Amino acid sequence: MSQIDEKLEPILAEVLRRNAGEPEFHQAVREVLESLGRVIAKHPDYLNNALIERICEPERQIIFRIPWVDDAGQVQINRGFRVQFNSALGPYKGGVRFHPSVNVGIIKFLGFEQTFKNALTGMPIGGGKGGSDFNPRGRSDAEIMRFCQSFMTELYRHLGEYTDVPAGDIGVGGREIGYLFGQYKRLTNRYEAGVLTGKGLVYGGSRARTEATGYGAVYFVERMLATRDRDLGGLRAVVSGSGNVAIYAMEKLAEFGGKVVACSDSNGYVVDEDGIDLDLVKEIKEVRRGRISEYAKAKGGTVKYIDDGSIWDVPCHIALPSATQNELTGRDSRELVKNGVLAVGEGANMPSTPEAVRIFQEAGVLFAPGKAANAGGVATSALEMQQNASRDSWTFEQTEARLAGIMRDIHDRCAATAEEYGAPGDYVLGANIAGFVRVAEAMEALGVI
């Protein structure tokens, strides 16, 4: 593991002390602070005015009760969160996650990552994240609606197109955003389209937003490969997950001539040597809201479903972890390296453990951290805000072209920053430093707030 500069050690120690029992948040902060040693060596002024301490402390954290009534007439209670991390560059911006694992530490890590990710996009958006420990699995549509309405009944007072703009994340897609927007509109009596992104096309959504995170990650990987004079044509790919990010990453990989042979959900993974049939995955996941095991049942033949192993045992040139945090471990990365992986792009937020990242980098594998590789989703959310503000609606081609340009710029900014700070090819360092510097400059300009 790389070292933290001794001047930054007390800052980390204070974060650990103040946020006890929040390992994912500690992990995210540690990784960024590890990159900042080279920055403060060049620019010691960043140590002034507790700037870095302030960046590590959320501006505001909201925790609230969400009561709702299930289909059996029973009252259920969940906990809701919104961590408004940093608004130096624009309104807080970031998704909400509905998953039983959600707690304040998870939301804080996501909000911290989001702040740097959003800065990297070059767009005027601050960082925030929210969610609930609500488990949508097996819930009826009516239960999902009542839950979303109750969630928004508390959250709406903290939102606004100039204040805080949530979107989706794990467990929150187009259906949930619709219910959340409906309740916000009802409570405020305002048709404030720019208060949420990931909306449906009929009520102010942006074309290409659904596809953006997955497509963007593949654009990023394609650009990394180009630095070694390669492209995706003919390469084998494995994409973990089968949600919104994974589905559209697989779609773009196939479009670029790659062959995706495996994908997964939280129960297991499927391997299809003929190439994953995306129409079937979409039907199972987006329409039926079913399990990936149904893919193997529907296909039969040589398709394998495995529920007691790691998807990263499947040999591939391109790995896109697109499920959840810390899903790809040191053991997995060793296996991938042994099997000749060329490039890894994080579609999810922080899916590789620190040990896994180190192993990839030491082996010379091209490694794109989530805050750079998966920034296409939030960047397209910012494009949605732009369309809402101008009461305009762009074509798919126009929007995708903007996304492609943004991903190219993020890649090049990370690469140039890594080079400038003496670590060519280190996209982790490049992303952390480039994101940090943009936030830091705005914070310096705004005074001690």
Nearest-angstrom CA–CA distance, 98 and 433: 30
* Nearest residue to 169 via CA among 46, 83, 74: 83
Site string for ligand GLU, 381-420 (x = CB under 6 A): x---------------------------------------
Query: Rounded to the nearest whole angstrom, what is the least distance from the CB of residue 182 to ligand GLU in the complex?
Result: 19
Q: What is the CA radius of gyration of the chain?
A: 21
Choose one: 155-163, 304-312, 351-359, 373-381; the region binding ligand GLU (CB under 6 A): 373-381
Nearest-angstrom CA–CA distance, 237 and 248: 13
C-beta separation of 410 from 120 below 8 A: yes
129 as an active site residue: the answer is: yes
Query: Rounded to the nearest whole angstrom, what is the least distance from the CB of residue 94 to ligand GLU in the complex?
Result: 5
Beta carbon nearer to ligand GLU, 314 or 379? 379
Q: Is residue 167 a contact residue for ligand GLU (CB under 6 A)?
A: yes
Q: By CB under 6 A, name the one of 377, 388, 413, 440 that touches ligand GLU.
A: 377
Strand 343-345's sheet: what is its strand order?
Answer: 304-306, 269-271, 259-264, 236-240, 318-321, 343-345, 366-368
Q: By CB under 6 A, name the one of 91, 95, 321, 347 that touches ligand GLU.
A: 95
Nearest-angstrom CA–CA distance, 221 and 232: 9
Query: Rounded to the nearest whole angstrom, what is the least distance from the CB of residue 272 to ligand GLU in the complex?
Result: 28
Nearest-angstrom CA–CA distance, 361 and 237: 19
Beta carbon nearer to ligand GLU, 78 or 374? 374
Nearest-angstrom CA–CA distance, 414 and 34: 16
Q: Is residue 197 a contact residue for ligand GLU (CB under 6 A)?
A: yes
Query: Rounded to the nearest whole angstrom, what is the least distance from the CB of residue 195 to ligand GLU in the complex?
Result: 12
Q: By CB under 6 A, name the one of 31, 164, 169, 192 that touches ligand GLU.
A: 169
Q: By CB under 6 A, name the one of 378, 383, 385, 418 that touches ligand GLU.
A: 378
Choose one: 88-96, 279-287, 408-416, 418-426; the region binding ligand GLU (CB under 6 A): 88-96
Element (H, E) at 175: helix 174-188
Q: Which of 117, 129, 285, 371 is catalytic?
A: 129
User: Look-up: residue for tokens 């430093």?
Assistant: 433
Q: Is residue 430 a contact residue for ligand GLU (CB under 6 A)?
A: no
Burial-class residue 279 by CB neighbours within 10 Å (0-12, 13-18, 19+).
Answer: exposed
Q: How many CB atoms lie within 10 A of CB 378?
A: 27
Site string for ligand GLU, 334-353 (x = CB under 6 A): ---------------x----
Element (H, E) at 356: helix 354-362
Beta carbon nearer to ligand GLU, 95 or 430? 95
Q: With both helix axes pointing from N to C terminus, report the angle between 396-420 and 427-446 in degrees, rounded to the nearest 10.
A: 100
**Could you tell me how many residues of this chain bind ligand GLU (CB under 6 A)?**
10
User: Which residues are the active-site residues?
Assistant: 129
Would you tell me which residues interact with ligand GLU (CB under 6 A)? Answer: 93-95, 167, 169, 197, 349, 377-378, 381
